[in-house]
Structure 1
């Protein structure tokens, strides 16, 4: 593609946007053509100065989410648009259409089921026709989840070990903060959930499977519950205690299932997927803690959907545009392990591990490397277009990039 730029970071004046731009300034190969996009040229110029000498010649592009013409013009100038402007239900619809129409690859950080469903319904056919790769959820939501399952599939296929059956991701370590932007997305989803059709979509475990205008109608019990504690031994004999539900399970599981749909069910006819988090291996204590997490998560989401309690929480929760301190970002970490048993009875585990706050420092790496993969490794990517997932759009290329960036990304058979 003969475009002026390789990557535009849209939303560069925001908290995560500037972190992503800084990662690209520090790690993008020499000669990578990068632009910064946002509503204010003055603020963009201030960000560019803070990024240092490597960014001094980066292009500044003024574009507004409420101005489709400005988004069209921005997309026409770049191979990839990398957007951190959320909540995406509020600010993302025009951009995803602009990218799909212009044949521009797109990556974001959304964790919003209705937005991705909108993207599939409105942008998938446009992107397929133009050759654009629209890749949602390229941060902590949902790269560890999506690549974790893909790694298992790849290893099992290489070994001729059958197909995947019950598969569970376990978050074994998680240390970091939460930003106002993430909480703002929760607010938007809570408001949307008051609509009965949106509520049905959120409860549908296959909400993101299917093509344009084709949301599969399946029972809520067709997949494991997103909000129930799990006996760890049922996940794998090596585990102990009770596992709590992971608070982003209701989104990440839909992304993984979309990958399986896009790969024509390659993970297996009996593939069922859930996500959990470790709260310790002591049986009685972990059961109590898992119960507390379950009740607490439900109570928090309920409070965010009820206007009077949300107003009280808003007084103490981080505001949009804010995030954890540099110390928190530097000292954070995450470890995810995904377990499966194959149709031949063999057990496998994949793992992803990285230093840095998962939602910020590590997410900046995942998003930045996703953008670079689409821009610079086009000849190595799968020949696909449309509304995709990280695993389906980038797969082995993204794995290689994350490993080079210092992530541990691996899969092996358990004995």
Structure 2
């Protein structure tokens, strides 16, 4: 990366809903001495976004860049150290920017929850990014930072105690208040369209190790379903009630398994990982969990079938839409992770934050991921490539998020 770059961070997609939230967060929390640019297709819209930011952003440069214009993306990548992109669906709009950043040696972070996009990014650009030193880091929001850093924290705690490698590990979304992102829904639509007509894509999306560097080297742990009903007692004695499938398990679990593989299996050869969500601990929890599972299946089926998709599109949020500021402020989430090590030691980690998880909290996680790259220095992963949040940032992002008000804690269970 050349020393002549005059920007530290560029927010690409700054006129979108999450892009504006990200720009606003950076305007309030940018470390002294760093410079930020705002990028998108429309100069007028960018100027409007900048005008709504605090006075500290008044001189931020505006950059015209478009996914349909590779030269504009290359120019943008060449003048900054880090690119944040909120422009999705990533499978439709994201690969040209990944290419531009990989070739320019520019660090990159995004919000994608799209497994097939990440797989194509790895296949096409991992080698290039290794050569140039670009750190391409996908899934830096609610998908998949709590999952990835949560398991990272468990591994660090077990390592510190000499308790051995991780084995069965479960993420439980204990509580959440917030809306569904229109961008997330649009990404789901796009991926369903791809897999419907492509048998190979369906196979990749279904594989629990679809993001691993070499799937043939991964352990055979049998069937690892993302749509599972789990009795809390099967997770840990302290966990009560049945748990329902978590909608984003299909991407988060694959990101976590890639982290394990990229760190040469340091999580352990018997490491197994799943994600579920809490639906209460009453005697009705098995029925509620079953209803949630059926509802998720119905949503996927409905979006896969054109007549029902037309009806669902009338009520589901559209890309670029988001909740009111009051709703974003009232949101929150708490994730509890449980693991047992190969020596029988048990640990739990908590990852929690205030703010709507898909919007306010995600803007914080995305911004702090970019700032980790901008200021993390030698504490970060040294090499380039298509990385995961835990591998790229590790303790650097953990500490930055704690300073931003997140709870990220671990404790050993009796």
TM-score, structure 1 as length reference: 0.97
Paired residue for 1:356? 355
Consecutive unaligned residues of structure 2, counting only runs of 5 or more, are none
Counterpart-to-counterpart distance in 2, 1:309 and 1:327: 32
Output one character per residue of 1:7-56: Cα deviation in whole Å (capped at 9) or x when no partner: 00000000000000000001111221000010111111110000120100
Q: Does 1:382 align with 2:381?
A: yes
Paired position in structure 2 for 1:15:
17
Q: CA contact under 8 A between 1:205 and 1:218: conserved in structure 2?
A: no
Q: Matched residue of 1:412: which SS?
A: strand
- In structure 2, the partner of 1:76 is 78
Cα offset, 1:147, TM superposition:
0.5
Match of 1:274 in 2: 274
Matches within 5 A, 1:328-339: 328-339=327-338
Aligned-partner Cα distance in 2 for 1:228–1:319: 28
Do the aligned residues in 2 keep the contact of 1:108 with 1:137 (CA within 8 Å)?
A: yes
Label 1:223 to 1:161 Cα distance change in 2 as closer, same or farther (>3 A). Answer: farther
Q: CA deviation at 1:173?
A: 0.6
Question: Contact 1:10–1:82 at 8 Å: present in 2 too?
Answer: yes
Equivalent residue, structure 2, for 1:303? 302
The equivalent residue for 1:161 is: 163
1:183 aligned partner: 185
Give the whole-Å Cα distance in 2 for the aligned partners of 1:307 and 1:254: 28
CA contact (8 A) 1:120 1:387 kept: yes
**Cα distance in 2 for residues equivalent to 1:119 and 1:322:** 27
When the two structures are superposed, what TM-score results if normalisation uses the length of structure 2?
0.97
Partner of 1:146: 148
Contact 2:28 2:54 in 1 (8 A): no
* 2:105 paired residue number: 103
Q: Counterparts in 2 of 1:16-415, with a 5 A limit?
A: 16-194=18-196, 195-210=198-213, 214-216=214-216, 222-282=222-282, 284-415=283-414
Q: Quick check: 2:219–2:269 contact (8 Å CA) kept in 1?
A: no
CA distance in 2, matches of 1:165, 1:233: 16
Contact 1:10-1:84 at 8 Å conserved across structures: yes
Structure 2 CA distance, aligned partners of 1:409 and 1:240? 22
Distance in structure 1 (CA, Å) of the matches to 2:306 and 2:221:
30
User: 8 Å contact 1:109–1:136 — kept in the other structure?
Assistant: yes
Per-residue CA shift, 1:243-297, capped at 9, x if unaligned?
1111100110000000000000000110000000111112x31100100011110
Distance 1:162 1:6 in 2: 40
Summarize the Cα distance change of 1:248–1:220 in structure 2 as closer, same or farther, 3 Å threshold.
farther
Q: How far, CA to CA, are the matches of 2:221 and 2:158 in structure 1? A: 27
Secondary structure of 2:315's partner?
Answer: coil
Structure 1 segments of 4 or more deviating over 2 A? 214-224
Name the Cα RMSD after superposition.
1.3
Structure 1, unaligned runs of 5 or more? none
Per-residue CA deviation, residues 216-243 of structure 1 (Å, 9 max, x unaligned), is 4989973531101001111001011111
User: Alignment partner of 1:371: what SS?
Assistant: helix
Alpha-carbon distance between aligned partners in 2 of 1:200 and 1:63, rounded to the nearest angstrom: 34
